[in-house]
Amino acid sequence: MNTKWVQEAARLEKSGIDFIMVSVISIKGSTPREIGARMLVSQHAIYGTVGGGNLEWQAIAKARESLTERSTETHTHDYPLGATLGQCCGGFVTLLFESVLQSPLHIAIFGAGHVGRAIVHCLENIPCQVTWIDSREQEFPRFIPDNVTIQLSEFPVDDVIDMPAQSYYLILTHNHQLDLELTEAAIKRNDATFIGVIGSKTKSARFRHRLQNKGFSDAQIATMHCPMGDTEIHSKQPGEIAISVLAQLLKIRATAAAPVSQAMPIK
C-alpha cells in the first residue's frame, strides 16, 4: 500500500496549509482505484489520485468548496461512474471527505532584507501562512518555504487592505517612510492581532509623534510595537532578531488563545 500520502499530509500540517483528505471507502463493479486510495486537496495543489477523469474533477471541486467554507464536517458522497459521470469503467464509488484545517495564523511580512529572510527561514517550521511582500524581486531568495506566498508589489501599502483579518504584521522595509505608511494602513484596518515595526527607540518615538500629529489616538498608537521583538533579547544579528520577534509573536498568540480565567487571573 502506498503510504507516501502520510508524509505529504504531515508536510501540509507542518506548513499550516488547510487540506481535505479524499478516500475511496466503497466500490462496486469496475472502478479506476481500489478501496483505500487517497487524494489530498489544498486550494492550490493536489497530491495522489482517486481515479482521474470526471470523478476526480468533481471530488476536487467538492473538496475546495469545503475549504472555502472552512467546513469541518466529515461526509461521504456516492459517484455512479457510468451514466452520471460518463466514465467507461461504469462502476460505483463512495468517497469520504475529511477536513484538516489549520490554526488561522497569518503573518504579513513587508520587507525582504536580511531580517525578513531570517524570519521567513524560522517560520518554515511553524504552522502558519505567510504573505511576504517587497518591491525588489532580487531580494527574495531562491528557496521559498511551502507556507510562504511571495508578493512582488510596487506599492506595498496598497496590499495591506487585502490581508486576512487578525493578521500579524511585521514591517521591516528598507525605507523608514514606507514603514510609517504601512504602519498607518495596518492601524486603520483596526483588526490586526499584532503590528510590529523594526527599529530603534528613536525611530519608535518619531513614529509615535507623527502618528499623533495625524490624529491617531493613544490607543491606536499603542497597537504598534516598535522596536518589535522580545524586550529581553538584545541583538543586531538578523537570526537573533528573528528569534526575538517570533518569541514575541508566540507569546501574544498563546495569550490570545488562553481561556479568560488563565489570561486574566482573578486576584
CATH number at residue 221: 3.40.50.720
Residues 88, 130, single domain; the answer is no
- Residue 51's alpha-carbon distances to 48, 82, 130, in angstroms, are 9, 13, 33
Q: Is the pLDDT of residue 140 over 90?
A: yes
Residue 110 CB coordination number (10 Å): 29
pLDDT digits (tens, 9 = 90+) for 7-39: 999 888 877 788 999 999 999 888 888 999 999
Regarding whether 247 and 183 lie in a shared domain, the answer is: yes
Is residue 35 domain-resident?
Answer: yes
Q: Which domain holds residue 171?
A: 106-257
Same domain, 125 and 245: yes
Running DSSP on this structure, what letter comes out for residue 177? H
Classify residue 52: in a domain, yes or no.
yes
> Looking at the domain assignment, is residue 161 inside a domain?
yes
C-alpha cell at position 138 = 532580487
Compute φ and ψ for 240, nearest 5 degrees.
-75, -35
Q: Say if residue 94 is in the same domain as residue 118.
A: no
CB 21 within 8 A of CB 38: yes
Average pLDDT over residues 210-219: 96
199 and 136 fall within a common domain? yes
CA 94 to chain CA centroid, nearest Å: 32
Q: Give the single-character DSSP code of 164.
A: P
Residues 239 and 128 in one domain: yes
How many angstroms separate the CA atoms of 10 and 165, rounded? 26
169 with 209, same domain? yes
According to DSSP, the residues that pair with 133 across neighbouring strands are 110, 151
Tell me: do 18 and 50 sit in the same domain: yes
Point out the domain boundary residue: 43, 73, 100: 100
Q: d(Cα 229, Cα 225) in Å, to the nearest integer?
A: 8
Q: Model confidence at 105, in pLDDT bands (50, 70, 90)?
A: confident
Query: With pLDDT > 90 as the criterion, what percentage of the chain qualifies?
Result: 65
**Whether residue 74 is found in the same domain as residue 181:** no
Domain count, the chain: 2
CA-to-CA distance for 102 and 70, rounded, in angstroms? 10
Q: What is the DSSP string of 190-255?
A: S--SEEEE---HHHHHHHHHHHHHTT--HHHHTTEESS-S-TT-----HHHHHHHHHHHHHHHHHH
Distance between CA 181 and CA 187 in Å, rounded?
Answer: 10
**Residue the block writes with cell 481515479:** 51
Tell me whether residue 18 is in a domain: yes
Q: Which three cell numbers stand for residue 146?
A: 511551502
Grid coordinates belonging to 255: 495569550
Nearest to 188 by CA among 160, 156, 151, 154: 160
- What is the pLDDT, as a whole number, of residue 22? 96
pTM surpassing 0.85? no
CB-count exposure of residue 104 (10 Å: 0-12, 13-18, 19+): middle
Which pLDDT score, from 0 to 100, does residue 263 have? 43
Does one domain contain both 193 and 230?
yes
Q: Does the pLDDT of residue 161 top 90, yes or no?
A: yes
135 and 217 together in one domain:
yes
- Residues 30 and 76 grouped into a single domain: yes
